[in-house]
A and B are shown apart, each in its own frame.
Chain A
Protein backbone atom coordinates (compact mmCIF):
# COMPACT_ATOMS: atom_id res chain seq x y z
CA UNK A 1 0.00 0.00 0.00
CA UNK A 2 1.32 3.43 -0.99
CA UNK A 3 1.72 5.54 2.09
CA UNK A 4 3.62 8.08 4.13
CA UNK A 5 4.37 6.95 7.68
CA UNK A 6 5.43 9.00 10.67
CA UNK A 7 6.71 8.00 14.07
CA UNK A 8 5.94 8.56 16.79
CA UNK A 9 2.27 9.52 16.41
CA UNK A 10 2.17 11.12 19.84
CA UNK A 11 5.02 12.50 21.92
CA UNK A 12 5.20 14.41 25.17
CA UNK A 13 8.64 15.71 26.04
CA UNK A 14 10.37 18.39 28.08
CA UNK A 15 12.11 21.57 27.05
CA UNK A 16 15.62 21.01 25.72
CA UNK A 17 15.50 17.26 25.21
CA UNK A 18 16.51 16.50 21.63
CA UNK A 19 14.01 14.51 19.60
CA UNK A 20 13.54 13.16 16.09
CA UNK A 21 10.29 12.56 14.25
CA UNK A 22 10.75 10.08 11.44
CA UNK A 23 9.00 10.18 8.07
CA UNK A 24 9.14 7.49 5.44
CA UNK A 25 7.41 7.05 2.09
CA UNK A 26 7.26 3.94 -0.10
CA UNK A 27 6.27 5.61 -3.36
CA UNK A 28 9.77 6.51 -4.59
CA UNK A 29 8.82 10.17 -4.41
CA UNK A 30 11.51 12.76 -4.96
CA UNK A 31 9.88 15.61 -3.08
CA UNK A 32 9.22 15.55 0.67
CA UNK A 33 8.16 18.25 3.06
CA UNK A 34 7.34 18.96 6.69
CA UNK A 35 4.43 21.12 7.88
CA UNK A 36 3.18 22.16 11.27
CA UNK A 37 -0.47 22.80 12.02
CA UNK A 38 -1.54 25.23 14.70
CA UNK A 39 -5.04 26.43 15.62
CA UNK A 40 -5.98 29.53 13.67
CA UNK A 41 -2.82 29.39 11.56
CA UNK A 42 -3.50 26.42 9.31
CA UNK A 43 -0.57 24.42 7.98
CA UNK A 44 2.80 26.08 7.47
CA UNK A 45 5.80 24.58 5.75
CA UNK A 46 8.92 24.01 7.87
CA UNK A 47 11.42 22.43 5.45
CA UNK A 48 11.30 20.66 2.13
CA UNK A 49 13.56 18.41 0.13
CA UNK A 50 13.66 18.12 -3.65
CA UNK A 51 15.79 14.98 -3.61
CA UNK A 52 18.51 13.18 -1.69
CA UNK A 53 20.92 15.62 -0.05
CA UNK A 54 18.88 18.61 -1.29
CA UNK A 55 16.93 20.46 1.40
CA UNK A 56 15.73 24.02 1.90
CA UNK A 57 13.85 26.17 4.37
CA UNK A 58 10.13 26.72 4.27
CA UNK A 59 8.22 29.46 6.05
CA UNK A 60 8.92 28.51 9.68
CA UNK A 61 12.31 26.71 9.86
CA UNK A 62 13.60 28.17 13.14
CA UNK A 63 14.32 25.52 15.76
CA UNK A 64 14.21 22.61 13.30
CA UNK A 65 16.69 20.58 11.29
CA UNK A 66 16.17 17.99 8.58
CA UNK A 67 18.25 15.56 6.61
CA UNK A 68 17.69 13.55 3.44
CA UNK A 69 20.27 10.80 3.24
CA UNK A 70 17.92 8.32 1.59
CA UNK A 71 15.13 8.98 -0.86
CA UNK A 72 12.46 7.36 1.28
CA UNK A 73 13.28 9.03 4.62
CA UNK A 74 13.05 12.64 5.75
CA UNK A 75 13.43 12.97 9.54
CA UNK A 76 12.59 16.17 11.40
CA UNK A 77 14.98 16.99 14.23
CA UNK A 78 14.32 19.30 17.15
CA UNK A 79 17.72 19.87 18.77
CA UNK A 80 16.37 21.78 21.78
CA UNK A 81 12.57 21.73 21.79
CA UNK A 82 10.66 24.60 23.33
CA UNK A 83 6.98 24.91 24.31
CA UNK A 84 6.21 27.01 21.23
CA UNK A 85 7.00 23.94 19.13
CA UNK A 86 4.01 22.16 20.59
CA UNK A 87 2.02 21.41 17.47
CA UNK A 88 0.66 18.82 15.07
CA UNK A 89 3.30 17.89 12.50
CA UNK A 90 2.72 16.45 9.05
CA UNK A 91 5.14 14.96 6.60
CA UNK A 92 4.17 15.00 2.94
CA UNK A 93 5.60 13.69 -0.32
CA UNK A 94 4.95 14.06 -4.01
CA UNK A 95 6.36 12.36 -7.04
CA UNK A 96 8.64 15.02 -8.35
CA UNK A 97 9.85 18.53 -7.77
CA UNK A 98 8.75 21.03 -10.42
CA UNK A 99 5.86 18.86 -11.49
CA UNK A 100 2.84 21.10 -11.23
CA UNK A 101 0.43 18.24 -11.55
CA UNK A 102 1.65 16.37 -8.53
CA UNK A 103 -0.61 15.64 -5.64
CA UNK A 104 0.93 15.83 -2.20
CA UNK A 105 0.34 12.82 0.04
CA UNK A 106 0.31 13.40 3.75
CA UNK A 107 1.35 11.21 6.65
CA UNK A 108 -0.98 10.61 9.61
CA UNK A 109 0.52 13.39 11.72
CA UNK A 110 2.59 13.55 14.92
CA UNK A 111 1.13 15.36 17.87
CA UNK A 112 4.01 16.86 19.87
CA UNK A 113 3.72 18.45 23.29
CA UNK A 114 6.75 20.20 24.80
CA UNK A 115 6.43 20.92 28.51
Chain B
Protein backbone atom coordinates (compact mmCIF):
# COMPACT_ATOMS: atom_id res chain seq x y z
CA UNK B 1 0.00 0.00 0.00
CA UNK B 2 0.89 3.65 -0.15
CA UNK B 3 3.55 4.91 2.26
CA UNK B 4 3.45 8.34 3.88
CA UNK B 5 6.55 9.78 5.51
CA UNK B 6 6.66 13.00 7.47
CA UNK B 7 9.69 14.99 8.51
CA UNK B 8 11.01 16.04 10.86
CA UNK B 9 9.49 13.81 13.55
CA UNK B 10 10.05 16.48 16.19
CA UNK B 11 10.53 20.22 15.97
CA UNK B 12 11.14 22.64 18.83
CA UNK B 13 11.01 26.37 18.12
CA UNK B 14 10.74 29.69 19.86
CA UNK B 15 7.60 31.74 19.54
CA UNK B 16 7.74 33.87 16.41
CA UNK B 17 9.83 31.46 14.37
CA UNK B 18 8.79 30.02 11.02
CA UNK B 19 8.67 26.32 10.23
CA UNK B 20 8.27 23.96 7.31
CA UNK B 21 6.87 20.46 7.67
CA UNK B 22 7.22 17.95 4.89
CA UNK B 23 5.11 15.00 3.75
CA UNK B 24 6.36 12.52 1.14
CA UNK B 25 4.09 9.87 -0.33
CA UNK B 26 4.97 6.86 -2.41
CA UNK B 27 2.17 6.79 -4.99
CA UNK B 28 -0.32 9.01 -6.79
CA UNK B 29 -3.10 10.41 -4.63
CA UNK B 30 -6.52 11.95 -5.13
CA UNK B 31 -6.77 13.35 -1.68
CA UNK B 32 -4.27 14.96 0.67
CA UNK B 33 -5.17 16.63 3.92
CA UNK B 34 -3.21 18.24 6.72
CA UNK B 35 -4.47 17.93 10.30
CA UNK B 36 -3.44 19.44 13.58
CA UNK B 37 -3.86 17.35 16.71
CA UNK B 38 -3.90 19.67 19.69
CA UNK B 39 -2.55 18.71 23.12
CA UNK B 40 -6.05 17.56 24.11
CA UNK B 41 -6.09 15.04 21.28
CA UNK B 42 -8.57 16.76 19.00
CA UNK B 43 -7.92 16.44 15.25
CA UNK B 44 -8.60 19.57 13.27
CA UNK B 45 -8.54 19.71 9.52
CA UNK B 46 -6.21 22.42 8.24
CA UNK B 47 -6.15 21.94 4.50
CA UNK B 48 -7.54 19.77 1.76
CA UNK B 49 -4.77 20.10 -0.83
CA UNK B 50 -4.18 17.27 -3.36
CA UNK B 51 -2.30 19.79 -5.55
CA UNK B 52 -1.43 23.47 -5.66
CA UNK B 53 -1.09 26.02 -2.90
CA UNK B 54 -3.49 27.30 -0.26
CA UNK B 55 -3.17 29.81 2.53
CA UNK B 56 -5.15 30.34 5.69
CA UNK B 57 -3.79 33.09 7.91
CA UNK B 58 -0.32 32.18 9.16
CA UNK B 59 -0.57 28.70 7.65
CA UNK B 60 -0.05 27.73 4.07
CA UNK B 61 0.42 24.47 2.23
CA UNK B 62 1.81 23.40 -1.11
CA UNK B 63 1.47 20.02 -2.78
CA UNK B 64 3.53 19.04 -5.80
CA UNK B 65 1.63 15.95 -6.88
CA UNK B 66 4.00 15.05 -9.71
CA UNK B 67 6.88 14.86 -7.25
CA UNK B 68 4.79 13.29 -4.50
CA UNK B 69 5.31 15.67 -1.65
CA UNK B 70 3.49 18.33 0.30
CA UNK B 71 4.77 21.10 2.55
CA UNK B 72 3.04 22.85 5.43
CA UNK B 73 4.37 26.28 6.37
CA UNK B 74 3.73 27.93 9.69
CA UNK B 75 4.82 31.52 10.01
CA UNK B 76 5.24 33.58 13.19
CA UNK B 77 4.60 30.53 15.38
CA UNK B 78 2.51 30.85 18.51
CA UNK B 79 2.38 28.54 21.53
CA UNK B 80 -1.11 27.49 20.44
CA UNK B 81 0.44 25.99 17.31
CA UNK B 82 1.99 23.26 19.44
CA UNK B 83 0.79 19.73 18.85
CA UNK B 84 1.17 17.03 16.25
CA UNK B 85 0.70 17.72 12.57
CA UNK B 86 -0.47 14.87 10.39
CA UNK B 87 -0.46 14.50 6.66
CA UNK B 88 -3.04 12.04 5.32
CA UNK B 89 -3.49 10.85 1.76
CA UNK B 90 -6.16 9.07 -0.20
CA UNK B 91 -4.64 6.71 -2.77
CA UNK B 92 -5.78 7.02 -6.35
CA UNK B 93 -8.39 4.64 -7.61
CA UNK B 94 -11.55 3.49 -5.93
CA UNK B 95 -9.66 2.71 -2.73
CA UNK B 96 -8.75 6.34 -2.39
CA UNK B 97 -12.28 7.36 -1.61
CA UNK B 98 -12.55 4.85 1.14
CA UNK B 99 -9.80 5.85 3.50
CA UNK B 100 -7.06 8.20 4.45
CA UNK B 101 -3.59 6.83 5.09
CA UNK B 102 -1.85 8.86 7.77
CA UNK B 103 1.80 9.66 8.22
CA UNK B 104 3.39 9.30 11.62
CA UNK B 105 3.16 13.01 12.31
CA UNK B 106 5.48 15.87 13.22
CA UNK B 107 5.41 16.90 16.85
CA UNK B 108 5.80 20.68 17.03
CA UNK B 109 6.62 22.41 20.31
CA UNK B 110 6.56 26.20 20.43
CA UNK B 111 8.24 27.66 23.49
CA UNK B 112 7.32 31.14 24.76
**Which 10 pairs between the two chains have the least Cβ-Cβ distance?**
A106-B43, A43-B102, A42-B102, A100-B30, A98-B97, A45-B99, A109-B41, A42-B104, A103-B48, A103-B45
Taken together as a complex, chains A and B put the C-alpha atoms of A41 and B94 apart, in Å, by 24
Cβ B105 vs Cβ A48 within 8 A: no
Q: What number of A residues sit within 8 Å (CB to CB) of B? A: 29
Bound Cα distance A99, B90 (Å): 11
Given contacts A43-B86, A105-B45, contact A99 B104 (CB under 8 A): no
Chain A residue contacts of B98, Cβ below 8 A: 48, 50, 56, 58, 97
Known: A88-B41, A108-B41. A33 touches B86 (CB 8 A): no
Contact of B105 with A42 in the complex, beta carbons under 8 Å: yes
State the A residues within 8 Å of B (CB). 31, 33, 35, 40-45, 48, 50, 56, 58-59, 88, 90, 97-106, 108-109, 111
Query: A58 with B99: in contact, given A42-B86, A42-B105, A100-B50 (CB under 8 Å)?
Result: yes
Contact A101-B99, Cβ < 8 Å, known A42-B104, A109-B41, A109-B42: no
- The answer to whether A108 and B45 touch across the interface, beta carbons within 8 angstroms, is no
A35 / chain B contacts, CB cutoff of 8 Å: 102
In angstroms, Cα B100 to Cα A103, docked, is: 10
1/0 per residue B55-77: CB within 8 Å of A?
Answer: 00000000000000000000000
Q: Smallest Cβ distance from B13 to chain A, in angstroms?
A: 22
Q: How far is the CB of A107 from chain B (nearest CB, A)?
A: 9
Residues 31 to 56 of chain B near chain A (Cβ within 8 Å) = 31, 33, 35, 41-45, 48, 50
